[in-house]
């Protein structure tokens, strides 16, 4: 299976969630577009314990930490959906998006269009800040409108039970995992949450 990790904002925790799902599924990792450093693929590499997990090379590495369409313009290149070819692997593949789902790749296409082109199931990461209910429900509606197969939500950060409850109530989606605020993010933390994910969802 292919799973596309998208978030309600740039700092929702997609890379951490990607590492946890890679560890839980023994899946490969791929970030099609990286805009600016540090490299999310390097972060995932430092967080997973399973040596069998393959970190695939980005299709585009852009120098500027900005929306891919803007970063590509700075680098003097253009991005097209036809440029992306899913890596070949016999394992599940975790695909991490760039920013939120409606971050532009070019004048016509958005990051979430990659999920549709790969026919990947979508996992939505929601961090819990003031305003996150609105952003989560708007993102959910956009995913529904595109008829994508949304597997569920991962809540990330300090728990807000009422926000979580109302989001799940309106979307009807399952909560796949809750990630608490953690002082230290390392291999042990990722392994702990991957075991929890395996026990509750997989």
Q: Which residues are catalytic?
A: 31
* Encoded tokens for 161: 């039970």
- Measured CA to CA in angstroms, residue 172 lies from 5, 103, 164, 167 at distances of 19, 25, 12, 8
Q: Which residues does 163 contact at the CB level (< 8 Å), separation at least 6?
A: 128, 132, 133
């Amino acid at each position: 299976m292919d799973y596309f990790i998208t978030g309600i904002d740039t700092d929702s925790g997609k890379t951490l969630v990607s590492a946890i799902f890679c560890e839980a599924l023994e899946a490969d990792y791929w970030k099609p577009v990286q805009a600016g450093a540090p490299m999310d693929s390097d972060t995932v590499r430092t967080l997973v314990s399973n040596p069998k997990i393959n970190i695939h090379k980005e299709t585009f590495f852009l120098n500027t930490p900005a929306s891919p369409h803007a970063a590509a313009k700075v680098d003097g290149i253009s991005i097209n959906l036809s440029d992306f070819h899913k890596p070949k692997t016999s394992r599940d593949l975790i695909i991490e998006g760039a920013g939120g789902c409606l971050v532009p790749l070019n004048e016509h296409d958005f990051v979430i269009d990659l999920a549709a082109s790969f026919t990947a199931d979508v996992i939505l990461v929601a961090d819990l800040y003031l305003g996150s209910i609105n952003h989560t429900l708007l993102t959910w509606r956009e995913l529904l409108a595109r008829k994508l197969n949304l597997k569920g939500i991962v809540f990330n950060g300090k728990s807000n039970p009422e926000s979580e409850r109302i989001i799940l109530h309106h979307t009807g989606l399952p909560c796949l995992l809750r990630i608490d605020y953690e002082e230290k993010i390392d291999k042990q933390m990722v392994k702990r949450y991957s075991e929890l994910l395996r026990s509750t969802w997989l």
